[in-house]
Structure 1
Amino acid sequence: MDALDVARWQFGVTTVYHFLFVPLTIGLSVLVAILQTMWHRTGNERYLKLTKFYGKLFLINFAMGVVTGIVQEFQFGMNWSDYSRFVGDIFGAPLAIEALVAFFLESTFIGLWIFGWDRLPKRAHLASIWAAAIGTNLSAYFILAANSFMQNPVGYRINPDSGRAELTDFPAVLTNKVALITFPHTLAGSFLVAGSLIVAVGLWHVIRNRDSADTGAYRFATKFGSWVVLIASAAVLFTGDIQGKIMTDVQPMKMAAAEGLYTTESPASFSVLTIGSLDGSREVFALKIPYLLSYLGTGDPNGTVHGIDDLQAQYATQYGAGSYTPIIPVTYWSFRFMIAFGLAAGAIALLVLWTQRKGRTPSSKWLLRAGLAMPVLPLLANSFGWIFTEMGRQPWIVFGEMLTRNGVSRSVSLAEVLTSFTAFTLIYATLAVIEVKLLLRYAKAGVPDVSEQPPTDDADDAERPLAFAY
């Protein structure tokens, strides 16, 4: 074990942990805005209750996401300074815009939304949550544009004197074809997480508090969240299909690693389950679907999918001697876990809708347990998706331009990286406990009492003190 190994583990752990909060923040920001819009248009009190209820959960999650996200950027200077020197001119541009524009927009209007219930006109207050939601999604786009450069470098040149990558075409970075499909795919996954949380909380109250005066609000929440999950599931499959074809075009080794395909095949089958040797180099048993991998990779059921061995030989000739193959068992299983957990969440949402058809009230304990598992399933799907995305790119930190081992800080020792890794892991574990306890406490508390309505647009509240609505 050396500093490179620990630095990679630290970045992997902090990234996956941070991304537990990101999709929920992205999805809930929009869904809470939709609920408030429904209240604004109809005046129905139950939509106001749900807005404040899920808005509170959104704010808890947003706060944790901000705290954990800051650490990500610090690591570029701490553990990955050689990478930062090489690509900072390009990578820093979208991150700077994200911080100066998107995050500023997001955080400013979230503040207005929090404190504006009793002071802002209803339309202005509604606009503030939509502005915050737009800022949240813009923030995601700029970050994904930066990551997409690592997957498919565009809009740059290598300065022969400094050896650094320099930005030549910023619009090309923002319109990178990997970013253009990764963004909607990530948004769909985020709505899958947010919709699942709405279903889980609503279903718990429907089954456990059947005689509550707010049962109607919870029943609506479970239906609303279930439809969000089903639509998001379809969007994930659609965008994932496009993403797979782009991935095969720009990173054929990643697609080969996703299947554990060592020899070039035309047509190529997709294995639902494979049992192989421990190093992933030999297949013992496989359950395969003919033609599917060719379609996923090329759009043609008879298309050619290049194998790992052929690509390794090609890259060794192109880039020099060395291994250009990622860890096959990791890429193979993370790809399948991503798909399986996402589909499982969609199946539970369909079951929840079925049990509430024709005004029925669900009561099954098994359904409740499945519903409570719903938020975890898409979170796992998102996490395995990012593990596959980043591990499948290895050994490159910038595909075709910089190897991961060349991006680590040379002046940081193993002891220093171990110290920061241990400290961050312990802090994150503590934050996880706090996050879960806060979410469970306020989720169990139920929707708030909104009998005292906010003032209308023409109310004179100039002397009203600034107050936190939650």
Structure 2
Amino acid sequence: MDALDVARWQFGVTTVYHFLFVPLTIGLSVLVAILQTMWHRTGNERYLKLTKFYGKLFLINFAMGVVTGIVQEFQFGMNWSDYSRFVGDVFGAPLAIEALVAFFLESTFIGLWIFGWDRLPKRAHLASIWAAAIGTNLSAYFILAANSFMQNPVGYRINADTGRAELTDFPAVLTNKVALITFPHTLAGSFLVAGSLVTAVGLWHVIRNRGSADTGAYRFATKFGSWVVLVASAAVLFTGDIQGKIMTDVQPMKMAAAEGLYTTESPASFSVLTVGSLDGSREVFAIKIPYLLSYLGTGDPNGTVHGINDLQAQYATQYGAGSYTPIIPVTYWSFHFMIAFGMAAGAIALLVLWSQRKGRTPSSKWLLRAGLAMPVLPLLANSFGWIFTEMGRQPWIVFGEMLTRNGVSRSVSLAEVLTSFAAFTLIYATLAVIEVKLLLRYAKAGVPDVSEEHPIDDTPDDAERPLAFAY
């Protein structure tokens, strides 16, 4: 073990941990805005209760996401200074815009939304949550644009004197074809997570608190969340299909590794299960669906998909001697787990909707257990998706331009990286306990009583009232 290995583990652990909060924040911000819009348009108290209920869960998750996200910025300078030096001119623009515009937008308007209940005009208060949701999604786009440069470098030149990548076409970076499809795919995955949480919490209250005064609100939340999950599942499949074709074009090794495809095939079959040799150089046993991989990779059922061994030989000739093959078991299983967990969440959503057909009230303990598993499934799918995205690019940190081993900080010792890794792991474990306890506590508490609350009209006459924290 050396500093490079530990630095990679540290970045992987902190990134995956941070991304546990990101999709829920992205999706739940929009769903809370939709619920408040429904209350604004109908005046139905049910939607106000659900807005404040799920808004509280959104705020807990948002705060935790901000705390864990700060570490990501510092890691570039801590353990990956050579990478930061190489790519800083390109990364600087989208990450600066994300911090100064998108994050400023979401954090400012979240503050107005928190303290604006009974203080801001209803329309202005509604606009604040929509502005926060838009800022959250814009933030995701700029970060994904920066990440997409690592997958498919565009809009740059290499300065031979400094050995750095220099930005030459910022619009090209923002319109990178990898970013243009990764963004909607990530959004779909985020709504899959958020819809699953809305469904799980609503279903728990429907089954455990049958006959309560707020059963109608929980039933609506359960159906609303389930439909969000189904629509998001369809969007994930659609965008994932497009993403697979772009990936085959710009990173053919990643597609081959995702399917354990060792030799070039035309047509190529999709692997349901593949067992490879211990050295990862050949296929031993496989269960496949004919023609499907060719279609997923090229759009043509008879299309050619290049294999791992052929691509390794091609890259060795193009970039020099060395291994350009990612860790096949990691890429293969992370890709398949991503698909399996995402599909499982959609299947449970269908089951939940079926259980409430024609006004029925679900009561099955097995359904409740499946429903409570719903938020975990898309979180796992998202996590495995990012593991696949980043591990499938290896050994490149910037595809075709910089190897991962060349991006690590040269002056950082193994002991220093181990110390920071242990510290971050301990802090994150503590934060995980806090997050889960807070979410469970407020989810079990149920919707708030709003019967004595009287949100003001668009012409307020209570200017002397102090700001009130609504939660």
Spell out, residue by residue over 1:402-450, the C-alpha distance to the aligned partner (whole angstroms, 9 max, x if none). Answer: 0000000000000000000000001000000000000000000000000
State the distance in 1 between where 2:56 and 2:114 align.
Answer: 9
More displaced 10-residue stretch of structure 1: 451-460 or 342-351: 451-460
State the shift of 1:156 in Å.
0.2
State the distance in 2 between where 1:285 and 1:261 align.
Answer: 12
Spell out, residue by residue over 1:55-95, the C-alpha distance to the aligned partner (whole angstroms, 9 max, x if none). Answer: 00000000000000000010000000000000100012100
State the shift of 1:458 in Å.
4.2
State the distance in 2 between where 1:79 and 1:241 align.
Answer: 35
Q: Give secondary structure in 1 for the equivalent of 2:434.
A: helix
State the distance in 1 between where 2:25 and 2:90 align.
Answer: 27
Residue number in structure 2 paired with 1:225: 225
State the distance in 1 between where 2:81 and 2:251 align.
Answer: 25
State the shift of 1:260 in Å.
1.0
State the distance in 1 between where 2:287 and 2:452 align.
Answer: 61
More displaced 10-residue stretch of structure 1: 237-246 or 311-320: 311-320
State the distance in 2 between where 1:388 and 1:203 align.
Answer: 32
Q: Is contact 1:341-1:378 (8 Å) kept?
A: yes
Spell out, residue by residue over 1:296-328, the C-alpha distance to the aligned partner (whole angstroms, 9 max, x if none). Answer: 100000000001111111111111110000000
State the distance in 1 between where 2:92 and 2:334 align.
Answer: 29
State the distance in 2 between where 1:458 and 1:240 align.
Answer: 44
Residue number in structure 2 paired with 1:441: 441
Q: Is contact 1:279-1:328 (8 Å) kept?
A: no
Q: Give secondary structure in 1 for the equivalent of 2:284.
A: strand
State the distance in 1 between where 2:443 and 2:280 align.
Answer: 44
Residue number in structure 2 paired with 1:30: 30
State the distance in 1 between where 2:47 and 2:278 align.
Answer: 53
Q: Is contact 2:149-2:398 (8 Å) kept?
A: yes
TM-score (norm 1): 0.99
State the distance in 2 between where 1:311 and 1:282 align.
Answer: 14
More displaced 10-residue stretch of structure 1: 120-129 or 254-263: 254-263
Structure 1 stretches of 4+ with a deviation exceeding 3 A read none
Q: Is contact 2:122-2:458 (8 Å) kept?
A: no
Q: Are 2:409 and 1:409 aligned?
A: yes
Root mean square deviation, CA, Å: 0.7
Segments of structure 2 that go 5 or more residues without pairing to the other structure are none
Q: Is contact 1:260-1:280 (8 Å) kept?
A: no
Q: Give secondary structure in 2 for the equivalent of 1:153.
A: coil
Q: Are 2:166 and 1:166 aligned?
A: yes
Spell out, residue by residue over 1:200-256, the C-alpha distance to the aligned partner (whole angstroms, 9 max, x if none). Answer: 000000000002100000000000000000000000000000000000000000000
Q: Is contact 2:262-2:283 (8 Å) kept?
A: no
Spell out, residue by residue over 1:18-62, the C-alpha distance to the aligned partner (whole angstroms, 9 max, x if none). Answer: 000000000000000000000000000000000000000000000
Q: Is contact 2:260-2:271 (8 Å) kept?
A: no
More displaced 10-residue stretch of structure 1: 277-286 or 336-345: 277-286
State the distance in 1 between where 2:413 and 2:188 align.
Answer: 40
State the shift of 1:334 in Å.
0.4
Residue number in structure 2 paired with 1:463: 464
Q: Is contact 1:279-1:329 (8 Å) kept?
A: no
Q: Is contact 2:262-2:282 (8 Å) kept?
A: no
State the shift of 1:118 in Å.
1.6
Q: Give secondary structure in 2 for the equivalent of 1:275.
A: strand
- Aligned pair count reads 470
State the shift of 1:283 in Å.
2.4
Q: Is contact 2:259-2:332 (8 Å) kept?
A: yes
State the distance in 2 between where 1:437 and 1:61 align.
Answer: 12
State the distance in 2 between where 1:450 and 1:134 align.
Answer: 27
Q: Is contact 2:123-2:458 (8 Å) kept?
A: no
State the distance in 2 between where 1:68 and 1:255 align.
Answer: 31
Residue number in structure 2 paired with 1:389: 389
Q: Is contact 2:29-2:129 (8 Å) kept?
A: yes
State the distance in 2 between where 1:279 and 1:51 align.
Answer: 54
Provide closer, same or farther for how the CA distance between residues 332 and 121 of structure 1 changes in structure 2, counting only shifts above 3 A: same
Segments of structure 1 that go 5 or more residues without pairing to the other structure are none
Provide closer, same or farther for how the CA distance between residues 299 and 44 of structure 1 changes in structure 2, counting only shifts above 3 A: same
State the shift of 1:274 in Å.
1.6
More displaced 10-residue stretch of structure 1: 269-278 or 91-100: 269-278
